[in-house]
Amino acid sequence: MIRITFLLRRKPELSLKDFQTYWFEDHGPLVASVSGKINALRYVQVHALEDPINDAMAKARGGMEAPYDGVAEVYFESRSALVDALGTPAGQEAAALLLEDEAKFIDLSNSPLWVGYEYPQVNGTPENLVARVRSNLVKLYFPLRAPADRDPDDAQLYWRTHHGPIIRRHAPASGIQRYLQVHRALDDELNGALTASRGTVVEPYLGHAEVWFDRSDGRRSPERVAANEAAIADESTFIDFQRSAMWIGKEHVFVDHR
User: Domain residue spans in the chain?
Assistant: 2-256
Q: How large a percentage of the chain has pLDDT more than 70?
A: 98
240-250: buried (b, 16+ CB within 10 Å) or exposed (e) per residue? bbebbbbbbbb
pLDDT of 40 > 70? The answer is: yes
Q: Average pLDDT, stretch 157-176?
A: 95
CATH code of domain 2-256: 3.30.70.100
- Predicted confidence at residue 27, as pLDDT, reads 98
Alpha-carbon distances of 189 from 9, 71, 115, 186, rounded to whole Å = 24, 22, 9, 9
Alpha-carbon distances of 77 from 16, 81, 83, rounded to whole Å = 32, 6, 11
pTM: 0.96
Q: Give pLDDT tens digits for 195-209.
A: 999 999 999 999 999
Q: Give pLDDT tens digits for 96-135.
A: 999 999 999 999 999 999 999 999 999 876 678 999 999 9
Q: Average pLDDT, stretch 129-143?
A: 96
- Predicted confidence at residue 218, as pLDDT, reads 66
pLDDT of 24 > 90? The answer is: yes
- Note whether 131 and 250 are within 8 A (CB): yes
Q: Average pLDDT, stretch 157-180?
A: 95
Alpha carbon distance 183, 218 (integer Å): 29
Whole-number average pLDDT of the chain: 95
Q: Average pLDDT, stretch 222-234?
A: 93
Q: Which amino acid is at 222?
A: P
pLDDT of 258 > 90? The answer is: no
Q: Average pLDDT, stretch 152-163?
A: 98
Q: How large a percentage of the chain has pLDDT more than 90?
A: 91
pLDDT of 29 > 70? The answer is: yes
Q: Which carries the bigger pLDDT value, residue 218 or residue 211? A: 211
pLDDT of 220 > 80? The answer is: no
- Predicted confidence at residue 157, as pLDDT, reads 98
Instruction: Measure CA of the first residue to CA of the last residue in the chain; give whole Å.
Output: 10
